[in-house]
Amino acid sequence: MFKTIALIGALAAAGNAERIPLKHRPLTYERYMNFAATLNEMAESNGVPNVPVKDYQNTQYFIDIDIGTPAQTFTVVPDTGSSNLWVYGSGCKSLVCRTHNTFDGSKSTSYTKGTKAFNITYGSGGIKGTQSTDTAAFGGVTSKAMGFGEISQVSGPTFYVSQMDGIVGLAYDQISVNNIPTFMSASDLDAKDRSFSFYLHNNPEESYMMIPGFEADGYDLVQKHNVVEKSYWNVKLDSMTSDKEVKTDGYMAAIDSGTSLIVGPKAIIDPLVNGITVN
């Protein structure tokens, strides 16, 4: 059962921590087909090719984040596998932006429009836009001058089927695009309190995120793994097992809350896949 602590970012007391609901939105066949039909109709009406749509196996969790003054709310993936905040902008011309919330800087009194390019390529696609600045907040934590990506162009099927309006990166500053301070680094939290934790359950209603800190009651420490490289949340990988153990000496593994995929060198992954028995 997947009901234990998935990730704790740093260690800090949880005296003033706040629980942030994590939304799990399964992609049903009916919703998938309705969404695909909508995109196809939009594509045909605009004279562009059909947009590829694919179910990525219900792998994402979401939180709400506020950007701007007054706040505009967006559904984003809290992602330890990246370090930047971005949302779709109101000037976005990609089809995906027509079915998601978009940020309108003209409605925010704390917004500073940027001109510097902001581009990220993920394993499942890419986003392009400009780097802007505004107030961002979630879970009672605020960054008053948060650099973020205001996205105008999207590529990749994942963005079309996902409910997300963007991503809030929770990895380290070292891998941040344009060297923008991460949300945690730019937040109003004291340095000693810049921590977070996820509690992911089979029952989506019981899943939540805490910031800062972690739950002390009802949980026991099972294992502790030191971060050995502060780019992604990289830990030392000793071995992996299916029907037999595959040694992984010298490898690190990134703990990534933005995906449920296991990715690695062919020499390691092939023996694991070959050892899986399907009844």
Report the catalytic residues. 79, 256
Pairing of strands 245-254, 233-241: antiparallel
Q: How far apart are CA 142 and CA 85, in angstroms?
A: 13
Peptide bond into 271 cis (omega under 30): no
Query: Residue 13 corresponds to which tokens in the numbers above?
Result: 């007391």
Residue keyed to tokens 């087909």: 33
Q: How far apart are the C-alpha atoms of 235 and 95, rounded to whole Å?
A: 38
**274 class by beta-carbon count within 10 Å (0-12 exposed, 13-18 middle, 19+ buried):** exposed
Ramachandran angles phi, psi of 173, nearest 5°: -60, -30
Buried b (16+ CB within 10 A) or exposed e, 105-131: beebebbeebeeebebebebeebbbbb
- CA 91 to chain CA centroid, nearest Å: 22
Q: What size, in residues, is the chain?
A: 279
Instruction: Copy the structure tokens of residue 230.
Output: 């502060």
In Å, what is the CA distance from 161 to each residue of 96, 120, 139, 262? Answer: 9, 19, 26, 21
SS3 label, residue 101: coil
